[in-house]
Chains A and B, each alone.
Chain A
Amino acid sequence: MLVIRRDLVDAMVAHARRDHPDEACGVIAGPEGSERPERLVEMINAERSPTFYRFDSGEQLKVWREMDAADEEPVVIYHSHTATEAYPSRTDVSYALEPNAHYVLVSTRDPEDHELRSYRIVDGVVTEEPVEVVESYMFANTGADDIPDCR
């Protein structure tokens, strides 16, 4: 399961909407081993394309070094699909090489209503997971009654 703050979800969706019809991409860093996404970094899509995305390699090195220095890891790696559903494509799966990351896809094909889904992708195997949107991590995992609705 991905437990994630509402402001981070809103920021991913806003980024995807802003870059539409090109694919948007980014990373949310969190403390190593914590499973807690905290610091969102919008990345440049070096492909600037409606059908592909690629982190700019120079920007990626800088961001990965910052994470390393802060004992963080990429908890979420997100990108948008602008004409198809929020499900990983074959290309997405072949590039999914951060074993600890939650791969989040946002579909912006519907101008009114986005679709946001999360996956673990390990050794080419895609497993969808529930997304729990919370106002604050302080109140997460304290029981079903305390967790706001997902959508």
Chain B
Amino acid sequence: MAINVSIPTILRTHTGGQKSVEANGSTVAEIINDLDSRHSGLKDRLVKEGNLHRFVNVYVNDEDVRFVGGLDATVSDGDSVTILPAVAGGMR
């Protein structure tokens, strides 16, 4: 079952400018692998050393996946996935 994945501006170079794409999988990791198979390079922007990159937020519906298992967070039929750049910074 295809899950709708919303892509932020900064990553649309990987999706030919599309704001949202479809992907298959039952966890966030599977969704990202499936996305990467058709939109090459996306995985490198989202995952680092087996964890979600600190520069991105990934949500399943309204839930930040960092609080529900990270890449192992489950995705079911009818869910939607949203990717946003994290907005952060500091003095140094």
Partner of A55, one of B82, B87, B90, B91: B87
Please report the number of residue pairs spanning A and B whose Cβ atoms sit closer than 8 angstroms.
Answer: 82
Residues of chain A from 9 to 52 with CB closer than 8 A to chain B in the complex? 23, 25, 27, 43, 47, 49-52
Q: How many residues of A contact B (CB 8 A)?
A: 36
Complex Cα spacing A89 to B92, Å: 5
10 extra interchain contacts, Cβ-Cβ under 8 A, other than A81-B91, A82-B91? A55-B86, A55-B88, A57-B84, A73-B9, A89-B91, A89-B92, A95-B88, A95-B89, A99-B9, A99-B10
- Return chain B residues, CB-CB under 8 Å to A115: none
Would you call B87 and A52 a contact (CB within 8 A)? Answer: no
Q: Which residues of B contact A (CB under 8 A)?
A: 8-10, 55, 57, 59, 62, 64, 66, 82, 84-92
Complex Cα spacing A53 to B92, Å: 11
List, sorted by A's number, 30 A–B pairs whose CB atoms are closer than 8 Å.
Answer: A25-B87, A47-B88, A54-B86, A54-B87, A54-B88, A55-B86, A55-B88, A57-B66, A57-B86, A61-B62, A61-B64, A61-B82, A64-B84, A73-B9, A81-B91, A83-B91, A88-B89, A89-B89, A89-B91, A90-B92, A91-B88, A92-B89, A92-B90, A95-B86, A97-B85, A97-B86, A98-B85, A99-B9, A99-B10, A100-B9
Q: Which residues of A contact B (CB under 8 A)?
A: 23, 25, 27, 43, 47, 49-55, 57-58, 60-61, 64, 73, 77, 79, 81-84, 88-92, 94-100
